[in-house]
Amino acid sequence: MSAILRPWQSGASGDAEALAEVYERADDALLSNIPDDRTIGGAQTWLETITDAEAAGDLCARAIIDDGDRSGRRILGNVMASGIERRHSSAWISYWSVAEARGQGLVSAALRSLVDLLHDELGIYRLELGYRVNNPASAAVARNAGFIVEGREREKLLYDGIRYDTEVCARLSGDPRHRGPRIPFDPPR
């Protein structure tokens, strides 16, 4: 499966309908990463929040799109840097994918592309992320994008009444880049 990265699109001709379809098909792994309002209206609200924050310089998000889909709307996932903090030059990284896109290295490749953009073009020095310790797939994505585990936060997350430990990772702009493949940007940078 080939993919491209592009900015999320809000508005009448945007991604709301396609995103609502992703929400409709979401499995348990994805449900914890998407908004509670999974209607088209909820998708549009999320998109407006994302695009407004990106325009303000507080966030950088890219949709992972199926490059073989003629409509250009088949969403495979998301990679995002939120909480961009200019004083200390840091950001919080998150990512998700639909079930059929997992296990193919797409999110790792997308995250490597996003890391390059954040470090090289946006000048962000420190990128941080966290994942549940019982989520080896998310751990692999982080590792495959060059993130280094810095510690464990005990019982940090609460899902369905159960508390989960998380591992916190970071990568600095001077850390070695992972040599793995990247997903191209559309439009090209």
> Hey, what amino acid is at 13?
S
CA 108 to chain centre: 10
Number of domains within the chain: 1
Domain-located, residue 93? yes
Domain-located, residue 184? no
Domain-located, residue 180? no
Domain of 59, in residue numbers: 3-172
pLDDT in tens, 153-163: 999 988 889 99
Q: How far apart are CA 99 and CA 140, in angstroms?
A: 16
CATH number for 36: 3.40.630.30
Its pTM stands at 0.92
Q: How confident is the model at residue 72 (pLDDT cuts 50, 70, 90)?
A: low
